[in-house]
Structure 1
Amino acid sequence: MTLRRDVDTTVLLLAVTLTCIGVVMVYSSSAIMAAERFNDGFYFLKRQLVYTIVGFLLMAIATYFNYQNWRKLSVITLIGSIFLLALLFVPGLGVRVGGALRWLRLPGFNLQPAELVKLGLVLYLAHSLTRKKEMVRSFAKGYLPYMIVLGVLLLLLLKQPDLGSAMIIAGVALSMLIVAGVRWFYVLATVAASMPALYFLVMNVEYRRRRIMAFIDPWDDPFDTGFQIIQSLVAFGNGGVFGQGLGTGQQKLFYLPEAHTDFIFSVIGEELGLVGAIVVAALFLMLVLCGIRIALQCEDPFGRNLAFGLSLLLGLEAFVNLAVCMGLLPTKGLALPFISYGGTSLVVCLVAVGILLNISSKEKAKR
């Protein structure tokens, strides 16, 4: 399969660069831990390479797959992802790790349905908002049905529990609704009305309340709730401007929990320094801006909504992960797109890029 000549090469290069950085950093952050746990220092690297190959293959397919066809598949995709999310609660299928029920056990690998739900919701909203047009300004016919769908998704995610993914999905959905023309009053009223529920979900659940306290003052409990963020900050401090050198970081040596997943950006900060961290953050910013540019240049309403939703999804997840690693937000169990270890997240991100590339190619063909 040859590369299309009319794709947005900037978006393609940014996605490939971030993915390659991810492969290198997954190995750097996990080799010693993998050797200790699995007697194979290449354990996570080999699996991430498989995920990368599958992701690139699906990205190439999505690049050639006319994005208009996603309209026909949007409802099916959303229903299918919700079904997979519900399967987590079937005994024997859901895998509980660290108290959270987020993975489906399938032959040869585990699947994280929440990542598929994010893509499914963006596809569904892009299709439905395009179909309803000006009707989205109506509360009963435009806004309320979306809140019902969003409510079902949030309930299933909170049941796992996965508050991080729930907040990402809510943020993306509400932003897409605003851009599509939903009245600001409806959104602001929804956010205001949800504040008591959010307070209850956080402050009345012990581990979440402790995370908030650790975010406010991690040194109040440095060996328990504050341990993770303190070790992350130590990693950035060790890295300085230019870093300690690729592969030579110390915090990944069983000090920093989840070094190859949630806190891989901290390893980047330690080994590649402030310069490396800024480069990675800049790559994400450029990718999001390019995605928004594709949305603004797209004359088709569905393509415009879809490009904006996908760009926002990638950008918001990256922002939250970077902010958590730097102690700017409370700890969340969210991966860094393209870079953190994990098959479902990486594949979904690359498929999203493939859809963006197809949208850009169709617009170029019209000129």
Structure 2
Amino acid sequence: MRIEAGAMRSSVAPPPNLRTRIQVQLAAPLDATPNAIKAAGPMDPVLAAIVVALIGFGVVMVYSASAVEATVRYKNPQFFLTRQGLYSLAALGVLFVTSRIDYHRLYKLTYPVLAGVGILLTMCVVGLGHNAGGAARWLAVGPIHVQPVEMAKLAIVAWLAYSLAKKADRVKTFTVGFLPHLIISGVFIVLCIKQPDFGSAVELLFLTFTLLFVAGAKVGYIMGGTILGSMFAVIAVRFSEYRYLRYLAWENMEQYKQTLAYQPWQSVMAFGSGQVWGLGLGRGLQTLYLPEAHTDFVSAIIGEEFGFIGIAGLCGAYLLLVLRGIRASLRAPDDYGSYLAFGIATMFGIQALLNLSVALAILPTKGLTLPFVSFGGSSLLVNAAAAGILLSVSRQGGADGSR
């Protein structure tokens, strides 16, 4: 398997023809046509269909979950629907454009993008961010609010793919293959925590260690990093008053159901009300009680209106999305594309898993959106760009029909 080969790369040199092909592909100029690198074939139709279906489903569920709040706050039940519809049209455009661009063109943009996103995150931390809900995670550009942390996830994946492919024969070393990746990711993680955005920090750490493992970094280094990261997370929770209170409320939800645990308590109630088949689209009652139901807790409304069957179908869609992403990774013509596709697939999977776990009160409350479904332009557009890159990798993986 491709992943197994990646895990052994530092001890067994890649075949000369593969190394030569990677060097030719990565050295291609940005203005080169895709055919100059590798003849592109058709994109993965299943992957494309899943992404488009999730975007469309998201528009429907945002309207169902937000109509009551939009009526009360803005006297317009279509307030959030209109915006999500516009975001979705833009996302489909981004998806189409990025899927047609050869992913190798991103290679030389890796560091400029990484630095730019780092600057945007720093701006949020130093007081230039728009504060909402006690966190400064947005930058206001006129009426538009941009959330840099969503860009950071894709930027870290792209940088790790670039760096790990470049250091293929030295990934097992500590000073070259492990420590630099941990330092750069650590800077972004600290910037997330300072906003504060603990959930995104955990996601970035998970993405880093996953790609290091797939690339063949020593398991001992990864385990050591995981232990240190876990210790840091415990300290960050225990010595932060609001995080610790949120943790206590999660452990004693019934006691805090009218205060700190109000949102997860109502979310669990929504899932329970849906039972097996759900109450029907637009008939959910928790839209009256669950705050911000159209954003981080939209899955609770899906559970109430479509029941266990609906949630099972949603989980199946995300599982298939991840599997098709891994398939593209295994078929990628080079290590760069392989790591890029695997990282993006992992990003979709872990964010969906964390969002659903929070909505079901399996984990304490964290501000993570449900990919392609939750309301929000930054998340939707970045995820669409990531899916487009994944489709671009799938177009070249097996375009010659040999894989």
The separation in 1 between residues aligned to 2:306 and 2:228, in whole angstroms, is 43
Deviation of the 1:320 alpha carbon: 0.4
One-letter code aligned to 1:43? F
**TM score, norm. by length of structure 2:** 0.88
Instruction: Tell whether 2:75 aligns with 1:49.
Output: no
Name the counterpart of 2:214: 179
Name the counterpart of 1:309: 343
The separation in 1 between residues aligned to 2:184 and 2:130, in whole angstroms, is 25
Name the counterpart of 1:261: 295
Deviation of the 1:150 alpha carbon: 1.2
Deviation of the 1:108 alpha carbon: 2.7
One-letter code aligned to 1:308? F
Deviation of the 1:209 alpha carbon: 1.1
Name the counterpart of 2:130: 95
Aligned equivalent of 2:67, options 31, 38, 42:
31
- Partner SS, residue 365 of structure 1: coil
Name the counterpart of 2:331: 297
The separation in 2 between residues aligned to 1:277 and 1:89, in whole angstroms, is 36
Deviation of the 1:230 alpha carbon: 1.2
> What are the equivalent positions in structure 2 for 1:225-240 lying under 5 Å apart?
225-240=260-275
1:152-206 deviation line (CA, Å, top 9, x unaligned)? 1111111100000000011001100110011011111112123332111101212
1:366–1:339 CA distance, 2 compared to 1 (3 A): same
Q: Percent identity?
A: 40
**Matched-pair contact (CA < 8 Å) for 2:199–2:366:** yes
Aligned CA-pair RMSD = 1.2
The separation in 1 between residues aligned to 2:192 and 2:301, in whole angstroms, is 29
The separation in 2 between residues aligned to 1:222 and 1:108, in whole angstroms, is 35
Name the counterpart of 1:327: 361
Deviation of the 1:361 alpha carbon: 0.8
Deviates more, 1:9-18 or 1:186-195: 186-195
The separation in 2 between residues aligned to 1:196 and 1:63, in whole angstroms, is 40
One-letter code aligned to 1:68? H
Name the counterpart of 1:10: 46
Deviation of the 1:90 alpha carbon: 4.9
- Partner SS, residue 140 of structure 2: strand
Instruction: Tell whether 2:200 aligns with 1:165.
Output: yes
Give aligned pairs, total: 362
Name the counterpart of 1:337: 371
The separation in 2 between residues aligned to 1:240 and 1:40, in whole angstroms, is 31
1:43-97 deviation line (CA, Å, top 9, x unaligned)? 1111111111111111111011000111111111111111111121454x41101
Deviates more, 1:261-270 or 1:296-305: 296-305
Instruction: Tell whether 2:256 aligns with 1:248.
Output: no
Name the counterpart of 2:259: 224
Name the counterpart of 2:16: none
The separation in 2 between residues aligned to 1:252 and 1:21, in whole angstroms, is 17
Which aligned segments of 4 or more residues in structure 1 are displaced greater than 4 angstroms?
Answer: none
The separation in 1 between residues aligned to 2:229 and 2:90, in whole angstroms, is 39
**Matched-pair contact (CA < 8 Å) for 1:63–1:358:** yes
Instruction: Tell whether 2:228 aligns with 1:193.
Output: yes
**TM score, norm. by length of structure 1:** 0.96
**Matched-pair contact (CA < 8 Å) for 2:322–2:345:** yes
Unaligned runs of 5+ in 2: 1-39
One-letter code aligned to 1:298? A
The separation in 2 between residues aligned to 1:197 and 1:326, in whole angstroms, is 25
- Partner SS, residue 77 of structure 2: coil
Aligned equivalent of 1:67, options 87, 99, 103:
103
Unaligned runs of 5+ in 1: none
Instruction: Tell whether 2:169 aligns with 1:126.
Output: no
